Amino acid sequence: MTITPNTLSLSNLKPFIKWAGGRRALLPELLRLMPKDFNNYFEPFIGGGALFFELTKIGALNGKKAYLFDANAELINVYQTVKKHPKKLLKNLKEFQAKHSEEFYYITRAMDREPNFKSLPTEVRAARFIYLNKTCFNGLWRVNSKGYHNVPIGRYKNPTIYDEELIMAASIALQNAEIRHADFAKVLDYADKGDFVYFDPPYYPLNATSSFTAYHENAFLDEEQKRLYSVFKELADRGISVMHSNSDTEFIKELYKGYDIEFVEVNRFINSKSGGRGKIKEIAIINCKKGTQMTINDKIQRLALEYSVKLKTNIDERVADMQSDDKAHYLIYKVLGISAEDGELIDLYQNKGRFLYKYAGSFLEEATKLCFLEKFPKSGSSKVPNTEGVRPKTFEIDCLVNNEAFEIKWRDATTDGDHITKEHTRIKAIKQAGYKPMRIMFYYPNRAQAIKIQKTLETLYDGIGGEYYFGDAAWEYVKNKTGINLKLILEEIANKNFKA
Ligand SMILES: C[S@@+](CC[C@H](N)C(=O)[O-])C[C@H]1O[C@@H](n2cnc3c(N)ncnc32)[C@H](O)[C@@H]1O
C-alpha cells in the first residue's frame, strides 16, 4: 500500500510517544539551519522523531524516502507496527488503557522477563511499549543490565495512553520510511551525495552526574561520540548534508572544530530533581553553510518554512493560553443569539486569524524584497526623515531600489480616512528625500469603502509622480522588474504543501 502524505490530514502530526531528549523545543532552529534541498532523509537516532514528523507535516519530505534507525529494538518495533498494523495496535492499546492500574503496570513491565517475550505478536509488544511510556515515571525508557525495563510507575491520575488520530496520521507519515533496528553507522551503507542526515544522539553530558545519556543500556560517551564524528566526517566528505545537535560542551566543540557550529537556545526541562525549566544553550553542527548557493526559489521556500513554523508556534501557544481564558463574556454572545460552542470557535479563529494576517503580510513583503534583492543587490529597507511634520520622526520605506521607494502590501483592508492622510504625508516626505513613491498591493480589497480608499491612494501617488500597481498588475510588475515570477514560485510551494 502506498499512501502519499497529505499535508491536510497530517496537520496535527507530532511524536506519539514521550522521549527523553525530544527535540520539539528545538524545531524552529533546526528548520532554520537544515538544508532546504535534499534527496532522501536520514534520522539514525530516531527516538520520538520530532524532526521527522515536523518535516512530514510541512510537506518537506513529500516524494522523498526517509530512513529511520534506532538502537532501541522495542522502539523500532513500535514504529514498524504503527507503519504496518496501526489498527491492530489501536485495538491492543484500547485493552491496555482499559486495564490500567498500578498492579497492571507492574505485570506489563515484567512481560520482558518472560522467555517468550520476543515471540509475542508485534502489536502486543508495541502496545506494551506505548503503555509503559505513557504511564511510567517521566516517560523514561530505562532498562537494567539484563535489558529489562525498570522504571517505576508515574504519578498520573488518568493517563491518556494514545490518540487514535495521531497514530493513524503517524502511520501515513511512516509509509515512505524504511525503519530499522540499527546502529547509527549503518547510515554509511545507504546515504548518497545530495541526501540529508540529521544526527540527534544522546547528548554528551554537561557534567559528570548528568543522566542525559542513560536512554538504553549503552551510554553514549567519549568513544561513541568520536565514532559518530568519524561517520559525520565521512558523510560530509561524500557531499552529504549533515546536521548534528548536541550539548554545548568543550568536548563536542573541540571534536567538530572544523565545521560550522551554531548556538541555539531552547527552553528545556533540565532534570527531574531540580524540576526546573530554563534557557539552555545547545549546539547544532552543520557541514553545509546555510544560505550559500541557494536559488531564489530555495530562498523563498525557506522563508515560507520559517514563517509557517513561526505562525504555528504562535497559534499553538495562544490556543494553549486560551484554555484558561475567562468565558464570562459568553453571556453577551448568548444574549445576541450566539451559542457557547459558536462563541468558542469565533474566539479561537479570531485569535488564529490575527496571527495569520500578520504573518501573511510580512511573509509576502519579505518574499518580494528577496526578489528585488536578487536583481538589485543594494536594495533593502530604508527610512526618510519626516520633512512634513514632527511625528513620526521618520517614515519607513519597505524596499528602496535605486531611487524608487516601494511600499509593499499583501492587501490593505483599511477603510479609515486617517490612513490616506498618513500615507499622503509619507509619500511627500519620500519625494522630498529625492525618491519616487511606488506602491505594490497584491490583493485588492472587496469592500466598497476600502476600494474607495485605494482609488484615492492611486490618485495621490499619481499626483506626486509615483506609481501604484495592484492585483495582477502587481505580480506582473515584480516579474518584469526583477525577472522573477514570484506568483509561480508561491503557487509551487502551495501545491507542494497540499499535494493530494
Ligand atoms: C536524543 S535521543 C533522540 C531524540 C529524538 N531526536 C526525538 O526527537 O525524540 C537519542 C536516541 O538514540 C538512540 N541510540 C543510542 N545509541 C544509538 C546507536 N548507537 N545507534 C542508533 N541509535 C542509538 C537511543 O535509543 C535514543 O532513542
**Other CB atoms closer than 10 Å to residue 255's CB: what's the count?**
21
Checking if the pLDDT of 292 tops 50, the result is no
* Other residues' Cβ atoms within 10 Å of the Cβ of residue 405: 27
Whether 437 is in the pocket of ligand 1, judged by its Cβ within 6 Å, is: no
Is residue 45 in contact with ligand 1, taking CB distance under 6 Å? yes
**Does residue 382 carry a pLDDT above 90?**
yes
- Tens digits of per-residue pLDDT, 61-91? 988 999 999 999 999 999 999 999 999 999 9
201 lines ligand 1 (CB under 6 A): yes
Instruction: Kindly indicate the confidence band of residue 130, based on its pLDDT and cuts at 50, 70 and 90.
Output: very high
23 pocket-lining for ligand 1 (C-beta < 6 Å): yes
- 378 and 244 belong to one structural domain: no
Taking the C-alpha atoms of residue 313 and residue 42, their distance in angstroms, rounded to an integer, is: 25
Within a domain: residue 127?
yes
Question: Mind listing the pLDDT tens digit for each residue in 204-240?
Answer: 988 755 454 444 445 788 999 999 999 999 999 998 9
Q: Are residues 220 and 332 in the same domain?
A: no
Contact 56, 15 (CB under 8 A): no
DSSP-assigned letters across all residues of 375-428: H-TT-EEEEEE-SS-SSSSEEEEEEEETTEEEEEEEE-----HHHHHHHHHHHH
Q: What is the mean pLDDT of the chain?
A: 88
Cα 232 from chain centroid (whole Å): 24
Residue where the block lists cell 552529504: 240
Same domain for 459 and 400: yes
The CATH code of the domain that includes 175 is: 1.10.1020.10
pLDDT value for 74: 96
Are residue 367 and residue 408 in the same domain, yes or no? yes
pLDDT in tens, 349-379: 999 999 999 999 999 999 999 999 999 988 9
DSSP state of 146: T
Pairing of strands 404-411, 380-385: unpaired
Q: Is the CB of 47 under 6 A from ligand 1?
A: yes
Alpha-carbon gap, residue 348 to 83, rounded angstroms: 33
The tens digit of pLDDT for each residue in 145-182 reads 888 999 999 988 889 999 999 999 999 899 989 999 99
* Residue 72 alpha carbon, nearest atom of ligand 1: 25
> In this structure, is residue 10 part of a structural domain?
no
Predicted pLDDT of residue 216: 40
DSSP state of 136: B
pLDDT per residue as tens digits for the range 438-480? 999 999 998 898 889 999 999 999 999 999 999 999 999 999 9
Query: For residue 22, what is its C-alpha cell?
Result: 525530544
- Number of CB atoms found within 10 A of residue 341's CB: 9
Q: What is the Å distance from ligand 1's center to 46 Cα?
A: 6
Position 12 in a domain: no
More confident residue, 124 or 208: 124
Distance CA 384, CA 387 (A): 9
Q: Regarding beta strands 196-199 and 177-181, do their DSSP bridges make them parallel or antiparallel, or are they unpaired? A: unpaired
Name the domain boundary from 229, 255, 286: 286
Q: Is the pLDDT at 259 greater than 80, yes or no?
A: yes
What is the distance between the alpha carbons of residues 59 and 198, in angstroms, rounded to a whole number?
Answer: 17
Of 229, 263, 286, the position where a domain reaches its end is: 286
Residue with cell 526541562: 269
Q: Are 24 and 14 in contact (CB under 8 A)?
A: yes
The verdict on residue 14 lying in a domain is: no
pLDDT reported for residue 2: 34
Residue 48 in contact with ligand 1 by CB distance below 6 A: yes
SS3 category, 315? helix
Burial (CB count within 10 angstroms: exposed 0-12, middle 13-18, buried 19+), residue 349: exposed
Asked if 247 and 199 sit in the same domain, the reply is yes
Q: Which structural domain range is residue 202 located in?
A: 24-286
* pLDDT for res 135: 96
Q: Which of 16, 54, 70 to mutate to test the pocket of ligand 1 (most atoms within 8 A of CB)?
A: 70
Give every strand in the sheet of 241-247, ordered side by side: 177-181, 66-70, 41-43, 196-199, 241-247, 277-286, 260-269
> Does pLDDT of 409 surpass 50?
yes
- CA–centroid distance, residue 232 to ligand 1 (Å): 15
Lowest mean pLDDT among 72-76, 301-305, 370-374, 490-494: 301-305
* Whether residue 130 sits in one domain with residue 31: yes
* 448 belongs to a structural domain: yes
Using a 6 Å cutoff on CB, does residue 74 contact ligand 1? no
CB atoms within 10 A of CB 73: 12
Residues 170 and 303 in one domain: no
Specify if 18 maps to a domain. Answer: no
Average pLDDT, stretch 18-29?
81
- How far is CA 233 from its chain centroid? 27
pTM for this predicted structure? 0.61
Residues 237, 94, single domain; the answer is: yes
Pocket test for ligand 1, best of 180, 215, 227, 264 (most atoms within 8 A of CB): 215
d(CA 143, CA 196): 31
Residue 216 or 326, more confident: 326
What is the C-alpha R_g of the chain?
27
Q: How many angstroms from the chain centroid is the CA of residue 329?
A: 34
Task: Report the residue among 17, 24, 43, 45 best suited for mutation to probe ligand 1: largest number of ligand atoms under 8 A from its CB.
Answer: 45
The CA 184 to ligand 1 mean position distance, Å, reads: 9
Kindly give, in sequence order, each residue whose CB lies less than 8 Å from that of residue 36, ignoring residues fewer than 6 positions away.
294, 298, 301, 302, 305
For ligand 1, what atom is nearest to the CA of residue 185? Answer: 20
Indicate if the pLDDT at residue 289 is higher than 80: no
Distance in Å, CA 165 to ligand 1 centroid: 25
The whole-angstrom separation of Cα 184 and Cα 407 is 51
The whole-angstrom separation of Cα 335 and Cα 333 is: 5
For residue 2, is it within any domain?
no
Give how many domains the chain has, as a whole number: 2
Between 294 and 396, the more confident residue is 396
Q: What is the pLDDT of residue 274?
A: 46
**DSSP E strand stretches across 39-97:** 41-43, 66-70
* Separation of alpha carbons 88 and 82, rounded Å: 9
Domain shared by 349 and 221, yes or no: no
- Together in a domain, 319 and 234: no
**pLDDT score, position 161:** 95
pLDDT at 304: 86
Separation of alpha carbons 108 and 183, rounded Å: 27
42 Cβ below 6 A of ligand 1: no
Give me the pLDDT at residue 278, please.
62
Distance of alpha carbon 490 from alpha carbon 482, whole angstroms: 15
300 plus 225 within the same structural domain: no
At residue 277, the pLDDT reads 55
Q: What is the pLDDT of residue 359?
A: 94
Looking at 231, 255, 286, the residue that finishes a domain is 286
pLDDT at 377: 86
Atom of ligand 1 nearest to the CA of 43: 6
Q: Is the CB of 59 under 6 A from ligand 1?
A: no
Assess if residue 271 is contained within a domain: yes
For cell 524608487, the residue is 404
Residues 479 and 456 in one domain: yes
Considering only residues 24 and 104, tell me which one the structure prediction assigns the higher pLDDT.
104
